[in-house]
Structure 1
């Protein structure tokens, strides 16, 4: 049975995935390893070929679209979303899957978030997963804010496949769509800092998927305004739990994974 797994991406040194997966293996009594591996799009085929006997991979930026091209099979959810963050071995090669959707849904469920209106900042692979999460939340439409409204082809394709009505507007701090019940920032690192200055309210929820640094300027401002603030680390926890189950075949020890993350990042918001 395979005993190795890892996370692929660039940059990847900051990833908290090793903390979560290693904690799961320890709790399950598995003598497995989990490594953080620097890997860009061009290196992905070779990285997988040299680790063909591994149990699976978490895939982060910039690989969430590239994994679909190298996979021998794409599971229905990843196909519908149009991006994947997980690779597991199959009889004919790697199978691409998406656990980001489950991570988003579970993170919001912890705060009993039931929005009627949703706005997403950014239009990359994670934003596509947010669109799929809307189906579970029962939200039929969404606004996406991007720097260049002409470059939303993938998000638009995802919305079309999922029958989500998508409005596209320019990403700017004064956008009216920032008043939505739920605002999800899928922007990297400090890219959402300019949106910290707006007046957030207690009727809103803000999910910032960027968990480094935390709390982000956006999260701090939203909390100061009384909004519910959902950490990207909470999403990471729940999507990693699904990955553990896919790779090991065991029920994920979520409590132990949460405790391990809290020990490393006490203020991660989980």
Structure 2
């Protein structure tokens, strides 16, 4: 069922405005993150939540002269592609866009551009929280079969200097889709579907793991087998690396995070990826370099919000 926008949001009180466009988005910390950036930079800007599946209305709203860009989330990350004037390499190669930004051509015409900053969030989570020697030149592991898994493969292969990338998921057809798409886009080298516990036991240990699945206790045989595969890699005594747990809602500390911690791995919470992908978005929107943005204040605000959720 489509969720249409009946009235346009009031943007008259802001010098510039953007949107968080997706459904459902009630739990998203994106508007809070970006408002923290703008308030600390003295900008009268705001990102307005647009909980909707109404693509036509969104395309109409972004024509407003004070529109600066948008965070685009599910279910629009792929659907938005055909409406854009251009893509960055990240947006093109991942095949999904989470960020819309504006550029002008030589005649001053506004161009609607797309990029994928999820890959930057994953990259920075490892570079800022784990020692490179713990994951470089070692196999990596990605759990999941959706868009976040594709972003993880891209980030690991493009920037983090890992070897073979193992793919683990309860649904083999989803893994095959990831393999096919990554190969078609030029970064599918050395991807291996690890389907069973027995197969995992024969493989070299991983240094970086990215978990891109919801927080749940495995129930079906397929879910249980996927969890056993993960546990084989976590329990290896020869090397302990770093795991990024992308799931942070409703709580950032998941079952996977807990079993990883107990196994001696460095656990990086998904809020790290959230923060650095968000700061990368503001780099596109404000024109400021990431180092000029108030990262510390954003981290404090997000941490406070998470503390609230635990109460």
Q: How far is 1:189 from its partner?
A: 4.4
Please give the secondary structure, in 2, of the residue aligned with 1:101.
Answer: helix
CA distance in structure 1 between the aligned counterparts of 2:51 and 2:197, rounded to whole angstroms: 33
Given candidates 101, 119, 125, the residue that maps to 2:119 is: 101
| Bigger shift: residues 85-94 or 213-222 | 85-94
Residue 68 (structure 1) aligned with residue 109 (structure 2): no
Please give the secondary structure, in 2, of the residue aligned with 1:57.
Answer: strand
Q: How many residues align?
A: 265
CA distance in structure 2 between the aligned counterparts of 1:56 and 1:75, rounded to whole angstroms: 15
Q: How far is 1:163 from its partner?
A: 4.9
Who is 1:142 aligned against? 165
Rg larger for: 2
Given candidates 99, 103, 110, the residue that maps to 2:128 is: 110
In structure 2, the CA distance between the partners of 1:163 and 1:214, relative to structure 1 (3 Å rule), is closer
CA RMSD in angstroms, aligned pairs only: 2.8
In structure 2, the CA distance between the partners of 1:48 and 1:189, relative to structure 1 (3 Å rule), is farther
Given candidates 38, 45, 58, the residue that maps to 1:47 is: 58
Q: TM-score normalized by structure 1?
A: 0.86
Q: How far is 1:94 from its partner?
A: 1.9
Give a deviation string over 1:112-148, Cα, whole Å, max 9, x none: 2432111111122221211221221112431212333
Who is 2:243 aligned against? 206
CA distance in structure 1 between the aligned counterparts of 2:31 and 2:147, rounded to whole angstroms: 21
Who is 2:193 aligned against? 168
- Whether contact under 8 Å (1:82, 1:154) holds in the other structure is no
Q: TM-score normalized by structure 2?
A: 0.76
Q: How far is 1:178 from its partner?
A: 10
Who is 1:157 aligned against? 181
Please give the secondary structure, in 2, of the residue aligned with 1:88.
Answer: strand
Given candidates 141, 152, 169, the residue that maps to 1:130 is: 152
CA distance in structure 1 between the aligned counterparts of 2:293 and 2:154, rounded to whole angstroms: 23
Please give the secondary structure, in 2, of the residue aligned with 1:55.
Answer: strand
Give a deviation string over 1:198-238, Cα, whole Å, max 9, x none: 36347032211111122111112211221110111000000
Given candidates 46, 54, 65, the residue that maps to 1:33 is: 46
Q: How far is 1:75 from its partner?
A: 1.3
Q: Moved runs in structure 1, 4+ residues, more than 4 A?
A: 172-175, 191-194
CA distance in structure 2 between the aligned counterparts of 1:167 and 1:33, rounded to whole angstroms: 43
CA distance in structure 1 between the aligned counterparts of 2:198 and 2:254, rounded to whole angstroms: 19
Please give the secondary structure, in 1, of the residue aligned with 2:80.
Answer: helix
Q: How far is 1:39 from its partner?
A: 2.8
CA distance in structure 2 between the aligned counterparts of 1:180 and 1:130, rounded to whole angstroms: 14
Who is 1:237 aligned against? 275
Give a deviation string over 1:177-200, Cα, whole Å, max 9, x none: 795222211113437796399363
Q: How far is 1:64 from its partner?
A: 2.2
